[in-house]
């Protein structure tokens, strides 16, 4: 093989190594940014669960024609700096601590500093609620997801 051919092939190989190395650095940086974003979202969700969402009502009532019914509400306050969407997931427990079912509440496009009272409900029959005393219930939050409202949603 000629010396000039070896130089050209060596240059091409060197260029490929540099290109591959640069791509690897870019992908590594992108993965690092995604990891940071995920950790920031998790921290924001935890802060929201601790500070932004409160269960304000959780009781079983007796309806004359329908039997037992759950009345539950959450107050969601956006303590962040930007408009946000919230999804609150919870559970309803019987008097002896057994899970009866899931509860959900959500609000979209909540402005900073604003609050919204939402039903914290699920689908329960009177039979499902037989293990809960009238006037009493045990509602708990399992997860709060808070996402920044995007202008593209408008």
Residues 6+ apart with CB under 8 A from 32: none
pLDDT of residue 126: 85
In a domain, 35, yes or no: no
The residue segments making up the domain with residue 76 are 46-153
**HSE-CB of 25 using CA atoms within 13 angstroms:** 6
- Number of domain units in the chain: 1
User: How far is it, in rounded angstroms, from Cα 143 to Cα 88?
Assistant: 6
Query: What is the predicted pLDDT for the residue at 80?
Result: 93
Q: What is the pLDDT of residues 30-74, one digit of tens each?
A: 556 555 555 657 887 888 889 999 999 999 988 888 888 999 999
Residue 29 within any structural domain of the chain: no
Q: Return d(Cα 137, Cα 73) in angstroms, integer.
A: 12
Calpha distance 12→101 (Å, rounded): 63
Question: What integer pLDDT is reported at residue 102 of this predicted model?
Answer: 97
The parts of the chain modelled with pLDDT lower than 50 are: none
Q: What is the model's pLDDT at position 133?
A: 83
Q: What CATH number should be reported for the domain holding residue 90?
A: 2.60.40
pTM as predicted = 0.70
Instruction: Please give the pLDDT value at position 145.
Output: 96
In a domain, 6, yes or no: no
């Amino acid at each position: 093989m000629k010396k000039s051919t070896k130089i050209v092939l060596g240059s091409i190989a060197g260029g490929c190594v540099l290109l591959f190395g640069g791509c690897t650095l870019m992908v590594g940086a992108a993965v690092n940014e995604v990891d940071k974003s995920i950790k920031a979202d998790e921290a924001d969700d935890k802060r929201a669960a601790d500070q932004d969402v409160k269960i304000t009502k959780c009781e079983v009532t007796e309806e004359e024609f329908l039997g037992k019914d759950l009345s539950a509400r959450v107050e969601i306050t956006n303590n962040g700096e930007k408009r946000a969407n919230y999804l609150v997931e919870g559970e309803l427990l019987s008097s002896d601590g057994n899970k009866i079912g899931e509860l959900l509440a959500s609000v979209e496009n909540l402005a900073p500093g604003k609050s919204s009272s939402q039903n914290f409900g699920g689908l329960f029959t009177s039979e499902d609620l037989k293990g809960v005393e009238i006037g009493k219930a045990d509602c708990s939050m399992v997860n709060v997801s808070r996402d920044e409202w995007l202008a593209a949603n408008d």
